[in-house]
């Protein structure tokens, strides 16, 4: 059974179609990232799944239940955790009190001190929330998402405002949660985050799914032609090479190939025989970001978003 | 972040503990509402310092004043002890909820609450119980200061408690209603006060009103019935004033209906 499944999801705000047709599934124990620019429909999709918004059309199933169904909402809230985009914590409670309060809402919560340790707030238990830094408040938010020991966790841009080391820690925590069996659906517009965390990425743009797959295969990344980039020393030109190369416009030469191993050997053998050093020699594959920018290109006529909506 | 502890927690997911009883959930909720409230110095100042200072000043001004027809046969201090007690209940119920809920909605705290399994009734009953507690502390303080200035202690304690609880409930409902109708939290304090301030003057909170017409109009609005209902047991040694309490209850129902129909947890409209 899927941990989560949506089919033909649609949602408009007035005349703005935030979500036009979104379908995807998440398997138990999987980390799936919804990737897309602002206004792509990520948060709206997430909020429909979290039960905060109604949908205009389509089906949605979360842990086998319909998130739009009022009577079952309490069961769902017991079994799911979420971290919203905005930091929302009472300023005058301490870290421990904030977590203990929410722990009291669940039938089978995680341990309070264990949760504080998980998000890296050990030693801060007695501090007032208002005296925490932005990143620490965000961790507290994360702790509130985890305190119910959820089977499924929704993370809406979870590492916004984290410094690089806190971000690494948060990623490790997310991986550890997955290792412990938690299913995670997150939104991000950080390519690196999607690459580092997600088993699968669903790219949304203009309320539609533009592509879906493991980050390493997205948009044919794995099968795309490799680009060998290098520069020739002064006095040599493309005509001297045993292979066809074209200038990339930035003073370097590019060879695109499906067989980078043998092409590279030919090229380097040629250079070594002449005792030449090829400056800036590198092999590139399209990065996730290249693919993402290609997919979410606003000029692509069929995917042009009709309005901006967070 | 320590990583070793994650793996164990899921495997320890035992058979779900039985949901806690409604009463213990409510106690839990009230406890944290109280903590949140008392820790915020603004609340302490607006809810307590103002009424206490007001009664203290009135006491210094009218301390020796005897009973007079201007104050409906009461001494000035007897009159003000009960209207300021009523005012403090308005502040800690209506004023507090209208502002706090609009604020909590705007910064996403309500949405966060909604994401937990805490039932809506527990959240609102917790708020109500919290407001009643704050009101009781407030009224006790004001009656105590009155006593220092020589106002006799009331005798119908049960009537006072009944009036306070009913009044607090009605004004809580109206506070939630106002919070439901305001979408901008910055505007909440201004709107809440704008509605309240003329009503306080009209209802004789700051000075007795001797116009029969005004009193008849104010008698159907929420504040004067509460003033009157509280004045009986607090200053005139009378029992519960059911007629005025009925008007108050009706306003409580109006507030509840608006609150139930219009209350939103989410800062962004659907």
Domain boundaries, chain A: 4-216, 226-284
Non-local CB neighbours of B108 within 8 Å, separated by 6+ positions: A84, A86, A87, A88, B267
The DSSP secondary-structure symbol of A241 reads S
Res B12 pLDDT > 60: no
B229 found inside a domain = yes
Would you say B128 and B169 are in contact if contact means Cβ atoms under 8 Å apart?
yes
Cα dist. A56→A4, A42, B262 in Å?
18, 16, 21
Q: Is residue B152 very low, low, confident or very high in pLDDT (cuts 50, 70, 90)?
A: confident
Would you say B165 and B226 are in contact if contact means Cβ atoms under 8 Å apart?
no
Q: Is residue A155 very low, low, confident or very high in pLDDT (cuts 50, 70, 90)?
A: very high
Minimum distance, in Å, between the CA of residue A253 and any CA atom of chain B: 46
Percent of chain B surpassing pLDDT 70: 92
Cα dist. A160→A50, A78, A183, A194 in Å?
20, 26, 21, 13
Dig out the tokens for B141 from the structure: 């303080």
Mean pLDDT of A128-149: 92
Q: What does the pLDDT read at residue B185? A: 86
Q: Compute the distance between CA of residue A214 and CA of residue A198 in angstroms, rounded to an integer.
A: 7
Res B1 pLDDT > 50: no
Degrees to nearest 5, angle at CA B111 with B106 and B113: 125
Mean pLDDT of B30-55: 88
CATH architecture group of domain A4-216? 3-Layer(aba) Sandwich (3.40)
Mean pLDDT of B20-29: 90
Mean pLDDT of B187-205: 90
Q: Compute the distance between CA of residue A66 and CA of residue A166 in angstroms, rounded to an integer.
A: 35
Non-local CB neighbours of A12 within 8 Å, separated by 6+ positions: A18, A56
Would you say A81 and A103 are in contact if contact means Cβ atoms under 8 Å apart?
no
Mean pLDDT of B116-143: 94
> Strand A246-247 vs strand A253-257: parallel, antiparallel, or unpaired?
antiparallel
Check B116 against A89: CB less than 8 A apart: no
B11 found inside a domain = no
Cα dist. A73→A146, B93, B248, B259 in Å?
18, 30, 35, 21
Q: Compute the distance between CA of residue A88 and CA of residue A90 in angstroms, rounded to an integer.
A: 7
Q: What does the pLDDT read at residue A300? A: 46
Dig out the tokens for A183 from the structure: 């299913």
Mutate to test the interface with B, among A67, A88, A99 (most CBs of B within 10 A): A88
Residue of A nearest to B265 (CA): A52
Res A310 pLDDT > 60: no
Dig out the tokens for B267 from the structure: 């800062």
Would you say A295 and A219 are in contact if contact means Cβ atoms under 8 Å apart?
yes
Q: Compute the distance between CA of residue A175 and CA of residue A156 in angstroms, rounded to an integer.
A: 16
CB contacts, 8 Å: A108 with chain B? 13-14, 16-17
Q: What does the pLDDT read at residue B2? A: 46
Q: Is residue B6 very low, low, confident or very high in pLDDT (cuts 50, 70, 90)?
A: low
Mean pLDDT of B140-167: 90
Dig out the tokens for B227 from the structure: 């003033």
pLDDT in tens, A20-66: 999 999 999 999 999 988 888 998 999 999 999 999 999 999 999 99
B197 found inside a domain = yes
Check A90 against B270: CB less than 8 A apart: no
Res B13 pLDDT > 80: no
- Please write down the HEC assignment for all residues of chain B: CCCHHHHHHHHCCCCCCCCCCHHHHHHHHHHHHHHHHHHCHHHHHHHHHHHHHHHHHHHHHHCCCCCEHHHCCECHHHHHHHHHHHHHHHHHHHHHHHHHHHHHHHCCHHHHHHCCCCCHHHHHHHHHHHHHHHHHHHHHHHHHHHHHCCCCCCCCHHHHHHHHHHHHHHHHHHHHHHHHHCCCHHHHHHHHHHHHHHHHHHCCCCCCCCCHHHHHHHHCCCHHHHHHHHHHHHHCCCCCCHHHHHHHHHHHHHHHHHHHHHCCCCCCCC
Q: What does the pLDDT read at residue A36? A: 87
Range of the domain at B199: 21-262
Q: Compute the distance between CA of residue A48 and CA of residue A54 in angstroms, rounded to an integer.
A: 6
Residue of A nearest to B37 (CA): A92
Res A115 pLDDT > 90: yes
- Mean pLDDT across chain A: 88
ipTM of predicted complex? 0.85
State the Cα torsion A177-A180-A181-A187 to the nearest 10°: 10
pLDDT in tens, A293-306: 878 775 444 433 44
Would you say B129 and B170 are in contact if contact means Cβ atoms under 8 Å apart?
no
B268 found inside a domain = no
Q: Is residue A135 very low, low, confident or very high in pLDDT (cuts 50, 70, 90)?
A: confident
Helix (H) or strand (E) holding A13: strand A4-13
Q: What does the pLDDT read at residue B241? A: 85
B7 found inside a domain = no
pLDDT in tens, A76-104: 999 999 998 888 889 999 999 999 999 99
Picking from A164, A118, A163, A123, the residue whose alpha carbon sits closest to that of residue A141 is: A118
What separation, in Å, do the N-terminal and C-terminal C-alpha atoms of chain B show? 37
Mean pLDDT of A255-273: 90
pLDDT in tens, A190-214: 888 988 899 999 999 999 998 899 9
Residue of A nearest to B40 (CA): A92
Check A118 against B2: CB less than 8 A apart: yes
Q: What does the pLDDT read at residue A246? A: 86
Q: Compute the distance between CA of residue A9 and CA of residue A166 in angstroms, rounded to an integer.
A: 34
Q: Which of residues 138-167 of A touch B (CB under 8 A)?
A: 144, 148-149
Q: What does the pLDDT read at residue B103? A: 92
- Mean pLDDT across chain B: 87
Residue of B nearest to A148 (CA): B116
Picking from A140, A213, A145, A134, the residue whose alpha carbon sits closest to that of residue A177 is: A145
Minimum distance, in Å, between the CA of residue A302 and any CA atom of chain B: 27
Q: What does the pLDDT read at residue B130? A: 95
Check A90 against B36: CB less than 8 A apart: yes
Q: Compute the distance between CA of residue B223 and CA of residue A17 in angstroms, rounded to an integer.
A: 47
- Number of structural domains chain B divides into: 1
B105 found inside a domain = yes
Helix (H) or strand (E) holding A272: helix A260-273
Cα dist. B263→A54, B99, B168, B251 in Å?
16, 14, 19, 17
Q: Compute the distance between CA of residue B90 and CA of residue B86 in angstroms, rounded to an integer.
A: 6
Res B9 pLDDT > 80: no
Res B82 pLDDT > 70: yes
Res A288 pLDDT > 70: yes
Dig out the tokens for A2 from the structure: 């899927």
Q: What does the pLDDT read at residue B19? A: 60
Cα dist. B89→B49, B131, B132, B176, B236 in Å?
13, 8, 8, 15, 19
Q: Compute the distance between CA of residue A203 and CA of residue A82 in angstroms, rounded to an integer.
A: 21
Check B6 against A118: CB less than 8 A apart: yes
Q: What does the pLDDT read at residue A308? A: 39
Which among A86, A93, A181 has CB closest to B36? A93
């Amino acid at each position: 059974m899927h941990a989560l499944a949506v089919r033909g999801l649609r949602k408009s705000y007035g005349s703005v179609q935030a979500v036009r047709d979104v379908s995807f599934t998440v398997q138990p124990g999987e980390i799936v990232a919804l990737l897309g620019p602002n206004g792509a429909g990520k948060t709206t999709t997430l909020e429909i799944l979290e039960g905060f918004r109604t949908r205009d059309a389509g089906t949605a199933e979360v842990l086998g239940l319909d998130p739009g169904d009022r009577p079952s909402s309490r069961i769902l809230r017991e079994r799911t955790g979420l971290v919203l985009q905005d930091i929302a914590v009472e300023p005058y409670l301490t870290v421990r009190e904030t977590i203990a309060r929410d722990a009291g809402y669940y039938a089978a919560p995680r341990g309070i001190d264990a949760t504080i340790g998980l998000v890296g707030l050990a030693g801060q238990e007695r501090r007032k929330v208002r005296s925490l830094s932005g990143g620490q408040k965000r961790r507290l938010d994360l702790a509130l998402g985890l305190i119910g020991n959820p089977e499924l966790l929704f993370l809406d841009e979870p590492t916004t405002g984290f410094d690089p080391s806190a971000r690494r820690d948060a990623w490790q925590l997310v991986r550890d949660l997955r290792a412990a069996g938690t299913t995670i659906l997150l939104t991000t517009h950080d390519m690196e985050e999607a690459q580092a965390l997600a088993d699968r990425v669903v790219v949304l743009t203009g309320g539609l799914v533009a592509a879906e797959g493991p980050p390493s295969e997205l948009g044919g990344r794995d099968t795309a032609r490799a680009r060998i980039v290098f520069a020739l020393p002064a006095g040599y030109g493309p005509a001297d090479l045993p292979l066809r190369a074209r200038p990339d416009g930035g003073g370097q030469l590019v060879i695109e190939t499906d067989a980078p191993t043998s092409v590279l050997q030919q090229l380097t053998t040629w250079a070594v025989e002449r005792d030449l050093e090829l400056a800036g020699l590198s092999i590139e594959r399209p990065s996730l970001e290249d693919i993402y920018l290609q997919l979410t290109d606003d000029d692509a006529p069929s995917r042009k978003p009709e309005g901006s909506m967070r | 972040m320590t990583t070793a502890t994650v793996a164990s927690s899921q495997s320890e997911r035992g058979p779900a503990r039985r949901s806690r009883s409604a009463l213990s959930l409510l106690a839990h909720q009230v406890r944290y509402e109280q903590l949140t409230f008392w820790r915020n110095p603004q609340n302490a100042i607006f809810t307590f310092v103002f009424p206490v200072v007001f009664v203290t000043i009135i006491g210094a001004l009218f301390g020796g004043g005897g009973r007079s027809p201007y104050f409906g046969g009461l001494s000035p201090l007897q009159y003000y002890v009960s209207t300021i007690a009523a005012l403090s209940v308005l502040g800690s119920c209506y004023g507090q909820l209208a502002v706090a809920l609009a604020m909590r909605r705007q910064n996403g705290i309500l949405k966060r609450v909604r994401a937990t399994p805490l039932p809506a009734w527990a959240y609102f009953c917790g708020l109500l119980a919290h407001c009643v507690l704050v009101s009781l502390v407030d009224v006790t303080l004001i009656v105590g200061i009155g006593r220092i200035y020589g106002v006799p202690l009331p005798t119908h304690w049960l009537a006072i408690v009944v009036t306070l609880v009913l009044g607090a409930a009605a004004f809580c409902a109206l506070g939630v209603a106002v919070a439901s109708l305001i979408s901008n939290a910055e505007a909440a304090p201004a709107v809440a006060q704008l509605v309240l301030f003329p009503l306080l003057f009209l209802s004789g909170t700051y000075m007795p009103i001797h116009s029969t017409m005004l009193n008849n109009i104010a008698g159907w609005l929420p504040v004067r019935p509460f003033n009157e209902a509280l004045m009986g047991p607090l200053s005139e040694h009378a029992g519960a004033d059911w007629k005025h309490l009925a008007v108050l209850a009706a306003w409580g129902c109006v507030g509840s209906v608006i609150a139930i129909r219009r209350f939103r947890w989410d800062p962004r409209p659907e």
